[in-house]
Structure 1
Amino acid sequence: MATVRPGAFHPLPVAGVERLTDDSVAVTLAVPPELREAYRYAPGQHLTLRRRARDGTEIRRTYSLCGPAGEEGPRTLRVGVRLVDGGEFSTFALKELAVGDTVEAMTPVGRFVLEPAPGHFAAVVGGSGITPVLSMVSTLLAREPGARFCLIRSDRTAASTMFLDEVADLKDRWPDRFQLVPVLSREETHSGLASGRLDEERLTRLLPALLPVKEIDGWFLCGPHGLVAAGERALSALGVERSRVHQEIFHVDEGGTAGPATAGAATSPEHSEVTATLDGRSGRWPVRDGESLLETVLRNRADAPYACKGGVCGTCRAFLVGGEVRMDRNFALEPDEVDAGYVLACQSHPLTNEVELDFDR
């Protein structure tokens, strides 16, 4: 069997398009036998999908895998897609994509994962943030008898809730090991928690009432930036170690917070060059004024990995071998990754005349 390069795209046939809500679908892709090992994934990882728009522009979008992860390469891959206002790929997926079509998919990536292990785990998710956590929960409960999971999920209304049946099935199958706490922000309910947003104040009061907060082995926060940030602050206030908190943000408003950066207002030198190693090959190129390091590399290596270009997905993660950079924003890398020397190439600008990146580490 030929070796498949990590981060490569392959055309996969669409095996199913299932309507979940009025504004979301689950898309199932078939994986041919020769690619199944390349598409083996950890629970919580995501796929980058790409297509060409009518004007020839390449569109890339990242969607989390929602099915249980097997120990062998999968025959199918299932992702959840929610319609975004003005979103070219999500509009295409909901209105045009059909069984028999072909979609180019990058091999799975991502570090927002939960490998099956004994323990007590919990997640706070909002909206489509359920997608990777659904894979985590279904994989964990099926493969690890000594594990428990508490899912606190926030949705606008019951009708807008993605994977409602799948989560209910998990609750029916493992009632003693799976705790489900649904919250609706825009709809009153006759049972369960009162409606309203899960902000920092409410989470700080709610979490200790539900769980032994400090004894949870891993917290997983996923969804819009506001919810994830509120969850992180609440857990910090409750004394949870940062190393036990894992997060993934699905969407950040352009006018919102810039996120943590690596250097304040430092400016780039007048002339700088970047050396980049990708798939075992290295090159060195001048950085144009105002360019991110990813843009420089893409001008010379079209196979450089990326998806959102917004500092959210982490697909363009690279190790900073030498030099210094400024990251405009970072919603994808954990603090220990930044401390270890990793950067997001799409958000990085040189602060020294020479910068070296390694995309293979």
Structure 2
Amino acid sequence: MARFHALRVTEVEPLTDDSVALTFAVPPELREAYRHAAGQHLALRRRVDGEEVRRTYSICSPAPEPGGSGPRALRVGVRLVEGGAFSTYALKEIAVGDEVEVMTPAGRFTLEPAPGLYAAVVGGSGITPVLSIAATLLARERTARFCLVRGDRTAASTMFLEEVADLKDRYPDRFQLVTALSREEQQAGLPSGRLDRERLTALLPALLPVGAVAGWFLCGPYGLVTGAEQALRELGVPRERVHQEIFHVADAPAPPRPAAPAHSTLTARLDGRSGTWPVRDGESLLDTVLRVRPDAPYACKGGVCGTCRAFLVSGEVRMDRNFALEPEETEAGYVLACQSRPVTEGVEVDFDR
């Protein structure tokens, strides 16, 4: 089960005018709990006006070596969201020495290092998990190669410029970087413009042998990720080679809500204990569980992070949105509790599977 622990902030590093990198020290007794795979994220928690606020931020530091001790420190990137309850706090208030409640790592937007060619298309803060993925892969697999295609508004708004440049210097023959700026011309490289489906369909085959890429990692705003996925589909890339994580789903279309049964009950197993409760009108399965089990796992409540994944034991539900589960997971019976609403009068889920 995911757990929160208070971790001390050891560094607050400005990256751009609207983003910072936060580093947390991990004490020896918690290092195994915070062992993470490249690409995973952390949920950070605070209370604002008496209400709990959680936000997820991807780990940008490389994953610890297998078999060794867990990480001594964790580093995440935070970009300011207008009116954001946590990002505003992170950029304007958090200081070295502060303690922040941090959940143990979660997420399945990951890569287990293996030989081969890998590629990523990212936009904005979508670089954060991919930075960890690329750095971990290139350090552990001496024959692996990685191609990073990133889009940003301007050079000044580009997060982790130095870290990406360091990868290019360290692995000049195995790390390929292509940058597109949407609001600024570059002296060299691609002309300005967004990385949309049409542009990526033409660009990607010119950069690398698309069919030889063992894994594609798409991360960023909804429009960029869906456009990149459509481009890869047009280029004949098998679905199982494409992995995606969406940041900022505000521009995603809102799905219609299904008609709910007049009375429905939810049975849920969590941390070895089961309970049955009525589902209130309009509630998600997660909200039903949280009324009596505040330890239920969740982070974003937006269908993005996958922290609330549960196995559907019986009954039928419909998910409003799903930006976290792979098709193989939904076919196996997993749902996102924060997005699932009952269709049948009885539903049973298991958070422990």
TM-score (norm 1): 0.95
Structure 2 residue runs of 5 or longer lacking an equivalent are: none
Q: Distance in 2 between matches of 1:109 and 1:7?
A: 8
The answer to whether structure 1 residue 228 and structure 2 residue 220 are counterparts is no
Partner of 1:34: 29
Cα distance per residue 1:201-250 (max 9 Å; x no partner): 00000000001101100000000000000000000000000000000001
Matched residue, 1:190: 187
Cα drift, residue 146 of structure 1? 1.6
Give deviations 1:45-83, integer Å, cap 9, x for gaps.
000000111x11111000000001112300000000000
Aligned mates of 1:92, 1:291 — CA distance in 2: 29
The partner residue of 1:287 within 263, 272, 279 is 279
Measure the CA separation in 2 of the matches of 1:221 and 1:256: 16
The separation in 2 between residues aligned to 1:265 and 1:83, in whole angstroms, is 31
Output the CA distance in 2 between the equivalents of 1:256 and 1:37.
37
Q: How many residues align?
A: 350
Q: Choose from 151, 156, 173 the match for 1:159.
A: 156
Superimposed CA distance per residue, residues 275-304 of structure 1 (whole angstroms, 9 cap, x where no aligned partner):
111111111111011111100000010000
Whether the aligned pair in 1 keeps the contact of 2:257 and 2:320 (CA below 8 Å) is no
Aligned-partner Cα distance in 2 for 1:89–1:283: 32
Separation of aligned partners in 1, 2:201 and 2:39? 25
* Cα distance in 1 between the residues matched to 2:352 and 2:183: 45
What pairs with 1:221-300 in structure 2 (closer than 5 Å)? 221-253=218-250, 256-258=252-254, 266-300=258-292
Report the equivalent of 2:320. 328
1:67 match: secondary structure: coil
Q: Does 1:68 align with 2:62?
A: yes
Q: Which amino acid aligns with 1:146?
A: T
SS in 2 for 1:228: helix
The DSSP-based 3-state class of the residue aligned with 1:339 is helix
CA shift, 1:336, in A, is 1.2
The CA distance in 2 between the partners of 1:65 and 1:280, in whole Å, is 29
Q: Hey, what's the Cα distance between the residues in 1 that align with 2:336 and 2:222?
A: 18
SS at match of 1:160: coil
Distance 1:52 1:94 in 2: 16
Within 5 Å, give how 1:57-206 maps onto structure 2.
57-71=51-65, 72-206=69-203
Q: Structure 1: which amino acid aligns with 2:57?
A: Y
Q: Which residue of 1 aligns with 2:42?
A: 47
**1:278 counterpart letter in structure 2:** L
| CA apart distance, 1:266 | 3.9
Distance 1:295 1:324 in 2: 17
Letter in 1 for 2:122: V
**What corresponds to 1:337 in structure 2?**
329
Separation of aligned partners in 2, 1:160 and 1:359: 39
The aligned residue for residue 3 of structure 1 is none
Residue identity in the other structure for 1:195: S
What is the match of residue 8 of structure 1? Answer: 3
What is the aligned counterpart of 2:15 among 4, 20, 29? 20
**Which residue identity does 1:47 align to in structure 2?**
L
Q: Paired residue for 1:307?
A: 299
Is contact 2:304-2:324 (8 Å) kept?
yes
2:308 to 309, 316, 324: 316
Secondary structure of 1:294's match?
helix
State the AA in 1 paired with 2:232.
Answer: L
Q: Distance in 2 between matches of 1:346 and 1:169?
A: 39
Structure 2 counterpart SS, 1:208: helix
Counterpart Cα distance in 2 of 1:101 and 1:178? 36
The amino acid of 1:30's aligned partner reads A
Q: Give 1:256 deviation, angstroms.
A: 3.1
SS at match of 1:291: coil
How big is the shift at 1:265? 5.9
Q: Which runs of 5+ in 1 are unaligned?
A: 1-5
Sequence identity percentage? 75
Q: Secondary structure at the match of 1:346?
A: coil
C-alpha separation in 2, matches of 1:192 and 1:265:
45
In 2: Cα distance, 1:21 partner to 1:135 partner? 19
The amino acid of 1:328's aligned partner reads D
Give the SS at the match of 2:126: helix
SS in 2 for 1:88: coil
Q: Name whichever of 88-97 and 314-323 sits farther off.
A: 314-323
Name the SS for the 2:329 alignment partner: helix
